[in-house]
Amino acid sequence: MSWILLIIGGLFEVGFTTCLGKAKETTGAEMYWWLAGFAVSLVLSMGLLMKATQQLPLGTAYAVWTGIGAVGTVLIGIFLFKEPATFWRLFFIITLIGSIIGLKAVAH
């Protein structure tokens, strides 16, 4: 169950970075809605990380959480914000995913 909470927390990390990016692109009331989404996603992400670390090693949980956030944020950047999808960016995303899987595999 802790791994599921950690994965969901990582997805909320992607949510708060996405909201931050969208808030940067907007103004007025729409910007404040994105900032509210940022705040809610941030609280949920941190809360789920905290809950997951009650059962998982802190270093492993944090590395997996940030890895999910990093991979998801790069993918959102490519697909939503039209950032470049170069060979090396994709190569290192794949190595990061492999590292996340490896950390899960060796965790107790």
19-to-3, 51, 63, 72 alpha-carbon distances in Å: 24, 23, 22, 13
The 8-class DSSP code of residue 81 comes to: S
Listed by start position, the domains of the chain span: 2-106
**Mean pLDDT (whole number) for 3-32:** 97
Tens-digit pLDDT profile for residues 64-89? 999 999 999 999 999 999 999 999 99
With pLDDT > 70 as the criterion, what percentage of the chain qualifies? 99
Whether residue 107 has pLDDT greater than 90: no
Strand boundaries in 1-108, DSSP class E: none
Tens-digit pLDDT profile for residues 38-64? 999 999 999 999 999 999 999 999 999
